[in-house]
Structure 1
């Protein structure tokens, strides 16, 4: 393996010259020539100094980081690598496993832990910050590599990049980013705190130089010119996901690839499964040579686009400005569709850091000799200039031309704006220090005088004096709340470590690293009735209330609820003013809100620190389960095709939390079923979110799986327990529609399954002749409702008691079917009607869900 060769070069001495020679010998053997900036940074690192590496994208900062880890390992020290996002931490973990051997590399991300005692640790910045707060100067962190250090200025997360600088005075630091701006104050501060020299290594010269152009042609023409000028691949930057997808659709009329290139794309795609509605759209785009890339996509779709781009097969990628962090996509040209963006509060011009972070992706070493950055003039400006060019120099006609105006709220930019951004240095990083309950608890828990430690932390940070005073007042208020709750107590005499106050509660070793409200959830489970028919779903609701809000999903739920309410009120003749008043009270579903809110307030009195993390009752997974929805059903119901990745990440987080937070003695059989169902839903949509998490205990196997690029999940029938739930839900979905007497929807549902079996050339029986029609359902439902007033859809109808399965051998190659019967729950309790179907296991494996054929809906006997 590559790591063996590296460690064969470990010198017998820790002499800086020997360490440098050993590492550069390894890079030479791999055919890598170091840039002057890399050499300068490595020399400083092996001699023990801090380094601020402010070099352009593609200049080999990762290789310098590897040198820092190598020097630390050779000296018998422990090193940390931190990054802003878990996906980048995971990617770097596998890279370092390949270079140093999996036994020597560990990972901590808060929801995953592997080999935590390893000499090299990859973790998020928040994890390292928590370690620094808990252990202070005694933390076992000798070398700290902080990647994407410009996140220091992030309003919500910047504190995590600052805390290690404040609390780890023994550590040697390597701070890396392409967009740091003026860092003089960091040089001075790091040297003062660590006693080490601090060197800033800058290089304005990129390994691949950039050429800039301002475009006064419509975007279609600009793209054509770039393609004809051999400047592809082109990354077209948009500032909303919707705009990126619309642009990809509009470019389908442009022939960006040759027939041979399209054949190569089809070959690389192979049997990749485009399983969702957006996936079908993406399939059309990529086969045409156009990619889409944004944070709302499923991870497997983003990886496919990246693989196709790395193979040089995508000529155009329409994406958002989120490409800047940790994505390895070779791009020759970055094309800005605008130089302004909506930042969540207002429309404003791009900042220099934002511009350079995106523009810096153009031109990658090893791929290009030059990179290109282009910016489009505003559409109305282009249109006006073209119209005036047609008019010519006639002053009378030019005066008579009515110029097209900018859209309302538009923030203008020009070529001068573009030039100013090119020349501007990134803005200085702004301190984002925060004080929380978790911070005080961590400091109080460590040995020593906590008052002295907090005083130093609050008065010797990077904040201005006015902000420091606010933080001091907040810290005092938090300390008093901890005293009042009895969480901490004063000591009459300092203890053997110098503590003058101590905790009266035991905090888990990874306190504040896992789900912040998990301890509240454990307490809330005791409030539930295990005998209740809704017990499993109520446990789920407790868990969902502790998860971060998926804002796009909740907004879609609320919009749908309000739309349905408006329709009902209009039909009932409710006046406009009253409708408006009632609508203000409608929100997304919040099961157990009253119970959980009351419990949360009581719990917070004894555990004040959870006040940093508000409770948020919601029902995403619960709604899916109660309504027997598939992933595609849910996305279609709420029109979330552009946010599939957000939906899936939420489901994956819920699955992990259910698996790890709910104690085994709390899990009923139905809850076990629900957890298995949820895990299978996630796997079948995109197995990477669960499989990688579960495979982290075996990094080499996980790396091997990742290297294959195979997105195929395990057969859905391989998990019989989860598959039974999927079958039960598929039948219950039909029961719900039958309860609404919706023959058309039932026919559509059956038709979808019939289409799957037809496309696969599969049939459950020789006499199979297609799906039930709306007329078939209408006739059967008419007979049912002649005998019963309604179909019940309560817990009994949804549960396993009324489902009967005749299972065939799952691994048989012939007649792989289950015969299933769903008894209908009627008000009289007769239960004399039954829905009969057969489930085709082969089709189910191919589709990643239960695929069935209705045989009958009739009265027993």
Structure 2
């Protein structure tokens, strides 16, 4: 068992994945690897105890590529000029917020870091690469200038592209957070720290020795460089004061008026050259155990063949936590176990059965409870009326409430809510002071919050294991589904261009929970349509997270490396399951309607075959616009809310030979006239052969009474 990046053992969220193998694989040989292991005697003893084999630590501070460290009190632009002149590119400029990384990258567009020939080579390399999201144009502009941007707020496909181009040595400057280089051999000659302090989630402090060594160790990669360079810039106010002092020294009058710049009041801890020197020589901090028990772990261990309870007890007994912590883990595990049994998620088998416990056979094969508050969500679903017209929306609200808050998105929602409220109050003639007072009461959207808070408080009172966990009502996936937004529409609505990756991850988490953790009994047809909508949204935007998940579930899964198609491609007969196929068809119909409602006529012309709609027209998108002008003479807009997407507004007519579907979709309008139709044709053999939905619009006309 080879465990690279073993320092993640201490990670509060993921550390258990590095510890579990050490506790359970007694007959394996282990190789633990990290540049920052720190003190290793504890792990030597544990491995010898578990495997009964001698454990040897192989350590060295010698680097194949030596590093040169420098502390500089010049501006970033001046420093980059010197690095370029001394052939110390490519350089990785390290930031600790996504925003600062993006701002630096934008500011460097005026700096010429690449030759004309190098830019031409990059342009050639980008042929065929799609930059289809709203932030794609900015990424493309940066890359073509030889500048990379790399942080978790980007779509995965852009991060992978940056890594590939960096590996080929085509990017001269990369602005990023500490996400670059983890598990990727990127040839970086110089690492440049813009600061030596970092916000840890609770407070701002000087970098840990482990973080410093991990980041600086990316400079000077073997096989690419003979020497690497690590540079730390002084704090911005120190650099600015040095510049102002030099300027004032030449003019006595200015010297008298000179006022020193002060350091930031928040989010800053001072560092200097001594701090930098101390970090270079400091050993990595000791690794600490972060073992914890979750519903997901219990479900996996208890459903093993044999005695799952004994295996769980053994796991807690052997874990590396303190004895006091183990006592709490045993108590918590029993509470979690009782909750699983009470809800028939885990079934106790008869005494003569070789397996003492099993997961309820009525649940999906890949059923899981990977969110801490999964059980609350499932428990509360039973209180909802599955026949209610807004059932699927309430279910989405419940699911989103147990997921972590994507703070950037929620802040943008709040900003927009306040702006809209302020404008409405101003239009109503409300006094300024009263408007400001009312704005303090505005929140980001939290549908069903009263119901969620009430049911959660009751659930928490009955289940002590909930502890400090709290519920977080919000509406992101729900709001998108209610509006039937495209990914780009939603990004533009809230100005989330720099947080596209964050929105993608949130939607992926919602989709995974809907797929894996909602029992089949709660998956009504409207819920399945919501799942189909989110899945296709993810595939059209960036399928890499879904591909990664599917590969983990199915080793034979073959992801597509082309631009994602509207529906999953592959040799699958998608027409076999009529209900599921109908959902896919309706999803594609509403994708067309969303573009129609946004008046994206050129985009429709690019995405759909309009030859049957306008066979003789040269400019088909213009003809489509003219046809819709007739609609807008008597209607304000096209509704896409859940009521408008009711199945009653979609009529599917199957041909006698069952080879063609004609789909008549009513355009639902705010006036409730509902007197226009869009008619499509769909070839069933083509859908079966291509595993995709290719609807062809044939008519847009008033409906005939």
Structure 2 length normalisation: TM-score? Answer: 0.78
**Does the 8 A contact of 2:308 with 2:357 survive in 1?**
no
Select which of 645, 653, 657 maps to 2:501.
Answer: 645
Distance change in 2, residues 1:168/1:545 (3 Å)? same
The reply to whether residue 728 of structure 1 matches residue 575 of structure 2 is: no
Deviations 1:828-852 (A, max 9, x none): x654x326588999xxxxxx99999
Identify the match of residue 108 of structure 2 among 251, 260, 265. Answer: 251
**Distance in 2 of aligned mates of 1:290 and 1:562:** 36
Deviates more, 1:275-284 or 1:590-599: 590-599
2:138 to 264, 281, 296: 281
* 1:155-234 aligned within 5 A: 155-158=12-15, 161-162=18-19, 165=22, 172-191=29-48, 195-234=52-91
Residue 298 (structure 1) shift? 0.8
Deviation at 1:685, TM superposition (A): 0.9
C-alpha distance in 2, partners of 1:752/1:506? 47
2:98 is the alignment partner of 1:241: yes
Q: How far apart, CA to CA, are the structure 2 residues paired with 1:448 and 1:716?
A: 42
Give runs of aligned pairs for residues 34-433 of structure 1, distance below 5 A. 79=1, 145-158=2-15, 161-162=18-19, 165=22, 172-191=29-48, 195-389=52-246, 401-409=258-266, 410-432=268-290
Q: Structure 2 CA distance, aligned partners of 1:773 and 1:573?
A: 42
Q: Does 1:802 align with 2:649?
A: yes
Task: Summarize the Cα distance change of 1:836–1:366 in structure 2 as closer, same or farther, 3 Å threshold.
Answer: same
Distance 1:562 1:390, change over 3 A: closer
Please say if residues 310 and 329 of structure 1, whose CA atoms lie closer than 8 Å, have aligned partners that are also in contact. yes
Q: 5+ residue gaps in structure 1?
A: 1-78, 80-144, 489-494, 736-745, 842-847
**Greater mean alpha carbon deviation, residues 264-273 or residues 688-697:** 688-697
Kept in 2, the 8 Å contact 1:181–1:425? The answer is yes
**TM-superposed deviation, 1:238:** 1.2
**Shift, 1:232, TM fit:** 1.9
Instruction: For residue 515 of structure 1, report the CA deviation from its aligned partner.
Output: 4.2
- Comparing 447-456 and 304-313, the one that deviates more: 447-456
1:404-434: per-residue Cα shift (whole Å, max 9, x none)? 4334344332222222222222223344455
Q: Is the 8 A contact 1:252 1:285 kept in 2?
A: yes
How far apart are the structure 1 equivalents of 2:312 and 2:517? 34
Structure 1 residue 679 corresponds to structure 2 residue 521: no
Which residue matches 2:689?
A: none
Distance 1:163 1:588 in 2: 39
Q: Which residue of 2 aligns with 1:654?
A: 510
Count of matched residue positions in the alignment of Structure 1 and Structure 2: 667
Distance 1:157 1:505 in 2: 25
Change (3 A) 1:225 1:180: same
Matched, 1:822 2:662: no
CA distance in 2, matches of 1:717, 1:335: 42
Q: Is the 8 A contact 1:796 1:802 kept in 2?
A: no
Cα shift at 1:282: 0.5
Give the Cα–Cα distance (whole angstroms) in 1 for the partners of residues 464 and 357 of structure 2.
13
SS at match of 1:646: helix
1:448/1:496 CA distance change after superposition, 3 Å: farther
Contact 1:152 1:158 in 2 (8 A): yes
Deviation at 1:505, TM superposition (A): 9.5
Q: Distance in 2 between matches of 1:849 and 1:462?
A: 53
TM (norm. structure 1) is 0.66
Cα distance in 1 for partners of 2:682, 2:76 equals 49
Deviation at 1:343, TM superposition (A): 2.8
Correspondence 1:620 to 2:620: no
Alpha-carbon distance in 2 for matches of 1:153, 1:699:
29
Partner of 1:767: 617
Report 1:440-839 matches (<5 A).
446=307, 456=317, 461-463=320-322, 468-469=323-324, 472=327, 476=331, 514-518=370-374, 520-572=376-428, 583=439, 585-600=441-456, 609=465, 614-664=470-520, 666-696=522-552, 699=555, 702=558, 710-714=561-565, 721-722=583-584, 724-731=586-593, 749-750=600-601, 765-767=615-617, 769=619, 770-771=621-622, 781=632, 783-784=634-635, 795-803=642-650, 822-825=666-669, 831=674, 833-834=675-676
* Contact 1:273 1:712 (C-alpha < 8 Å) held by counterparts: yes
SS of 2:191's equivalent in the other structure is strand
Q: CA deviation at 1:627?
A: 0.5
Alpha-carbon distance between aligned partners in 2 of 1:496 and 1:723, rounded to the nearest angstrom: 50
> SS of the residue aligned with 1:406?
coil
Distance 2:160 2:336 in 1: 47
Distance change (3 Å), C-alpha of 1:470 and 1:185: closer
Deviations 1:92-150 (A, max 9, x none): xxxxxxxxxxxxxxxxxxxxxxxxxxxxxxxxxxxxxxxxxxxxxxxxxxxxx433222
State the Cα distance separating 1:306 from its structure 2 match. Answer: 0.8
Counterparts of 2:169 and 2:421 in 1: how far apart (Å)? 50
Q: Could you list the per-position Cα deviations for residues 388-411 of structure 1 after superposition, in whole angstroms to 9, with x for gaps in the alignment?
A: 445668989756644343343443
Range with bigger deviation, 310-319 or 421-430: 421-430
CA distance 1:174–1:630, change in 2 (3 Å): same
C-alpha deviation, 1:219, in angstroms: 1.4
The structure in which a higher percent of residues are helix is 1
Runs of at least 5 residues in structure 2 that lack an aligned partner in the other structure: 344-349, 575-580, 684-691
Secondary structure at the aligned position of 2:210 is classed as helix
Aligned residue for 2:205, secondary structure, equals strand
Aligned-pair distance for 1:294? Answer: 0.6
Q: Secondary structure at the match of 1:235?
A: strand
The answer as to whether partners of 1:730 and 1:850 remain within 8 angstroms in 2 is no
CA distance in 2, matches of 1:855, 1:450: 64
Shift of 1:780: 5.8
Contact 2:193–2:231, Cα closer than 8 Å, also in 1 = yes
Distance, in Å, in 2 between the alignment partners of 1:191 and 1:579 is 68
Instruction: Give, in angstroms, the shift of residue 301 of structure 1.
Output: 0.6
Q: 1:503 to 1:680 in 2, by over 3 A?
A: closer
- The question of whether the paired residues in 2 share the 8 Å contact of 1:753 and 1:853 is answered with no
CA drift of 1:471 comes to 6.1
Query: Residues 270-313 of structure 1, C-alpha deviation per residue, up to 9 Å, x if partnerless?
Result: 21110111111101111111111111111111111111111111
Deviation at 1:575, TM superposition (A): 6.3
Q: CA deviation at 1:541?
A: 3.5
Look up the SS of the partner of 1:798 in the other structure.
coil
Distance 1:805 1:310, change over 3 A: farther
**2: distance between equivalents of 1:648 and 1:642?**
12
Secondary structure at the residue paired with 1:312? coil
The 8 Å contact of residues 550 and 650 in structure 1, kept in 2 or not, is answered as yes
Query: Which residue does 1:132 correspond to in 2?
Result: none
Distance 2:682 2:231 in 1: 53
Distance in 2 separating the partners of 1:779 and 1:484: 59
CA distance in 2, matches of 1:191, 1:535: 55
Give the distance between the partners of 2:568 and 2:23, measured in 1 at CA: 53
